[in-house]
Amino acid sequence: MRKFLIILVVAILVIFFAVNINKSKQSKTMNPQESNIQIDPISHASLILGWDNKYIFIDPVDEEKKNIFSSKPEPDLILITDIHGDHLDVETLKIITKDKTSIVAPQAVVDQIPEELKSKVSVMDNGGKKDFSGFSIESIPMYNLPGPSEKFHTKGRGNGYVVEGAGKRVYISGDTAGIPEMRSLQNIDIAFVAMNLPYTMDPEEAANAVLDFKPKTVYPYHYRQNPTKDFADVAKFKEIVNTSNPDIRVVQVDWYPKP
């Protein structure tokens, strides 16, 4: 009997420490909260939202193949915006997708996902709306306007997303110009807006679009000017936005930390 009690106590202690280590790891790898939403800027187009005890991964890409997601919480939901390699990383998807994980992507992305993952994927094309893990997901068009850049992102291929839950609405632009569908968004609490020519917008166009839909907080992201590795002027973006509307909070985060 005594031996049994000792084994039981040891088992309880092992479970206790395992749970607390996992909690500690999660808290250490997520950034401070934005209201009730934790934001973890991974790199370029990749980020994680810790929201209502769920983890939403957007465009999880491990560009340097350094297993950067190994220290992150397991995803409940993965949103993929486009087929390009800075948004779709099939090898990383294979590693991070777990039994509980749902993946949302447009058809063009699903066409490139291996069969072993397709049972986890829900197709959402522009204008779709579905509920996942207690969140409402709306797919927003993302595309280049007519001109030299139009060939990079054609209308209907990729998705931006509006995620709504726990009284908050978050917009992820994906690779897009300052399109009417973005400018007409309403009641956005947090927006992630891309700016890198020639693929998306310059700071002026991005700022002009943001001033139209007036999010409470905006994070400029995806601002590396490929292939030169120069960066868009996010300080200029902030200046333009806040000169016209100081009530919009512009948060500048380093999406490209040095090794």
Segment 122-134, tens digit of pLDDT: 999 999 999 998 8
Q: Using CA atoms, how far apart are residues 223 and 86, in angstroms rounded to an integer? A: 12
The pTM of this model reads 0.85
Average pLDDT on 66-74 reads 92
Segment 191-238, tens digit of pLDDT: 999 998 778 899 999 999 999 999 999 999 999 876 667 888 999 999
pLDDT at 256: 86
Average pLDDT on 85-107 reads 95
pLDDT at 34: 64
User: Which of 10-19, 151-160, 205-214 is least confident?
Assistant: 10-19
Average pLDDT on 141-151 reads 80
Segment 164-198, tens digit of pLDDT: 998 999 999 999 999 999 999 999 999 999 998 77
pLDDT at 249: 97
Average pLDDT on 54-78 reads 93
